Amino acid sequence: MRYRLLGRSGLAVSELCLGTMTFGNTTSEADSIAMVHDFLGRGGNFLDTANVYVQGKSEEIVGKAIKGRRSETVLATKVRFMTGAHPNSGGVSRKHIMDAAEASLKRLDTDYIDLYQVHVWDHATPIEETLRALDDLITAGKVRYIGCSNFFAWQLMKSLAVSDRERYARFVSIQPQYSLVSREMDREMMSLCLEENVGVIPWAPLGGGFLTGRYTREEPVSGRLTAKQGESSWALRASDKNFAVLEAVRSAAKELDKTPAQVALAWLLRREGITSPIFGASTLAQYEENMGAAGWTMPDGIWNALDEASALPSEYPNRFIAKFARPF
């Protein structure tokens, strides 16, 4: 397992991050703990959860799994979504952040969170209030670093500017959806993260299972892609463009003697600006397959072919800049 620094911080994280959204749901507690122990044993150190995953059960299982191994683990969780019925049980106001952080610490059975992330922008709360609360958690020693997730580029840049102006802690990372079948972040977010040295830890790196290679053009009757709503719904994934990308992934997998899932993850590991893709697994077999993406490097020719097959169409202003802009 190789390691990378998270953004402009000095925090070293493993090249793969183990996502725990299924812990306590489709993944049993015993299998969840076995995955974490094996991940740590093979050099992985980066775990991602959230206070709303399985109504907090995921955090509880993660806390049990890392008991006695806390110092070697980089633990990430999130705050934003509703966790109760009263009006202040969601958002990123100072009140909810402080309450939610204490609740997460209790479920995780730890004194501190390594990376505390804002799950989604909150239009009701000034970003100054949010960042001040997060900065205070860092000062109190309850949080080490802060990040965000599912932001627009302007929201991330505004947050960084406020932190710089007020001398608050900066977001060191962002957690966006990003994969060979979801490259919208290439429009603005990736260049911003490279410019500001913000780490990128993508969720859904396998397109919600689409890139595992087990789907055909027939609508599935089982699995995550049967969902009628959400980013991994069949309606969003089953496009001609995505099936062309999937065919390129299958071809690369055959040539490399790897699985499609391993190829999709390995492509991300070579993508400039990507720190650690977050992979999840419902079963130990899926976990083992995904771990096979680490420890090797995809050849240039295959990486370029996948990059070309999955690239966004030429769009303004990039199209204009590429044609007319000159360094001098």
CATH classification of the domain holding 125: 3.20.20.100
Residue predicted with more confidence, 187 or 323:
187
* Interval 285-307: pLDDT, tens: 999 999 999 999 999 999 999 99
Identify whether 307 is part of a domain: no
Identify whether 325 is part of a domain: no
pLDDT for 238: 87
Rounded CA-CA distance 96/91 in Å is 7
Domain count, the chain: 1
Mean pLDDT value across residues 154-176: 98
Q: Pick the catalytic residue from 3, 53, 112, 287.
A: 53
Confirm whether 112 is a catalytic residue: no
Rounded CA-CA distance 143/90 in Å is 19
pLDDT for residue 139 is more than 80:
yes
Strand-pair category, 74-79 with 143-149? unpaired
Global confidence as pTM: 0.95
For residue 227, give Cα distances in angstroms to 53, 200, 224, 233, 239.
17, 26, 6, 5, 16
Identify whether 158 is part of a domain: yes
Which of the four pLDDT bands, split at 50, 70 and 90, describes residue 219?
confident
Mean of the per-residue pLDDT values for the chain?
Answer: 95
Identify whether 222 is part of a domain: no
First to last CA, the chain: 42
Identify whether 324 is part of a domain: no
Identify whether 219 is part of a domain: no
Which of the four pLDDT bands, split at 50, 70 and 90, describes residue 322?
confident
Domain housing 269: 3-209+259-297
Helix locations, the chain, DSSP H: 29-41, 57-65, 94-108, 127-139, 153-166, 189-196, 234-237, 240-256, 260-269, 284-291, 300-310, 318-324
* Interval 33-87: pLDDT, tens: 999 999 999 999 999 999 999 999 999 999 999 999 999 999 999 999 988 889 9
Identify whether 149 is part of a domain: yes
pLDDT for residue 327 is more than 70:
no
* Interval 94-115: pLDDT, tens: 999 999 999 999 999 999 999 9
Mean pLDDT value across residues 306-320: 93
Identify whether 229 is part of a domain: no
The DSSP output letter for 149 is E
